[in-house]
Amino acid sequence: MPPRTDNVSRYLRQTKELFGDELYLTIQPQSSSPSLDVDFNSNLSAFEQEICTCQKCPLGQSRNKFVFGVGDPKASLLLVGEAPGATEDEIGEPFVGRAGKLLDKILAAIDRNRQKDVFICNVMKCRPPNNRDPLRTEVDECEPYLLHQIHLIKPKLIVALGRVAGQTLLNVDKSLKSLRNTFHDYHGTPLMVTYHPAALLRNQDLKRPTWEDFKTIKDFLEQNK
Ligand code: URA
């Protein structure tokens, strides 16, 4: 994967474009993590309105609908997929196709749903044509939006769904197998990687390890209320 450009400065540039010069920094002296904690006078739906007409990359031209994300604005669990597919692009909501239905069942098994203590979104807010992997240049434009969503939601745990989401967020070229079973750090928030629900539709054998991951997710959230 080509080297990542400076996401923090890109984030600051984009937020300056969106919100102007006023920037509130919350200093957290006890935190040793390099988390970006920038406090804007905004909320999640206002943020969606700010960015939903984005034309920062060519996907702005080819998309049908901008897919911001859905769920509880104060969720402790943030699920992040790769990018909207065809159905999501049509409807404007993430994970609404077959894989999404399976994701809903997985969430029900840990006593949550897309309105209850969960927020679901993607790294990319617009669909790449023919479901190709997003380009690094596209990710570099879009990832600051995810960072700001995280800043507003303040989830206790982020779960990357699938290899591409995991590799993209962690900026590594490792296999999904090697990214699983570890709590990574994403700008100060713990991040786990598990299988994409679409992979479970193709391979039933992945259901068991995915269920193990979601049990770990449930335990983590119970211990970190
Ligand atoms: N796959 C994803 O990664 N995201 C969606 O929203 C739908 C399918």
82: Cβ below 6 Å to ligand 1?
yes
The encoded tokens of residue 56 equal 């920062």
Q: For the chain, what percent of residues have pLDDT higher than 70?
A: 81
The encoded tokens of residue 67 equal 């897919």
96: Cβ below 6 Å to ligand 1?
no
In one-letter notation, the amino acid at residue 186 is Y
Quick count: other Cβ atoms within 10 Å of Cβ 64?
A: 14
Q: Which CATH superfamily is domain 40-223 in?
A: Uracil-DNA glycosylase-like domain (3.40.470.10)
72: Cβ below 6 Å to ligand 1?
no
Closest atom of ligand 1 to 161 CA is 3
What is the Å distance from ligand 1's center to 80 Cα? 9
**Domain range annotation of the chain:** 40-223
Judged by DSSP in three states, 144 sits in helix
What is the Å distance from ligand 1's center to 199 Cα? 11
The rounded distance, in Å, linking the Cα atoms of 40 and 26 is 10
pLDDT digits (tens, 9 = 90+) for 50-66: 999 999 999 999 999 99
Query: Which pLDDT does position 38 carry in this prediction?
Result: 43
Judged by DSSP in three states, 191 sits in strand
Closest atom of ligand 1 to 165 CA is 3
Assess contact for 139 and 168: CB atoms under 8 A. Answer: yes
Query: Which pLDDT does position 36 carry in this prediction?
Result: 42
pLDDT at 1 > cutoff 70: no
What is the Å distance from ligand 1's center to 96 Cα? 8
Rounded to the nearest 5°, which phi and psi values hold at 104?
-60, -40
89: Cβ below 6 Å to ligand 1?
no
pLDDT digits (tens, 9 = 90+) for 4-57: 555 566 666 765 665 556 554 433 333 333 334 444 436 999 999 999 999 999
Which has more confidence, 92 or 131?
92
What is the Å distance from ligand 1's center to 28 Cα? 34
Q: Which of 44, 131, 120, 47 is nearest to 84 (CA)?
A: 131
The rounded distance, in Å, linking the Cα atoms of 176 and 165 is 10
pTM: 0.84
What is the Å distance from ligand 1's center to 86 Cα? 9
Assess contact for 151 and 38: CB atoms under 8 A. Answer: yes
Mean per-residue pLDDT over the chain, rounded: 88
What is the Å distance from ligand 1's center to 7 Cα? 23
pLDDT digits (tens, 9 = 90+) for 67-125: 999 999 999 999 999 999 999 999 999 999 999 999 999 999 999 999 999 999 999 99
pLDDT digits (tens, 9 = 90+) for 133-153: 999 999 999 999 999 999 999
Closest atom of ligand 1 to 122 CA is 4
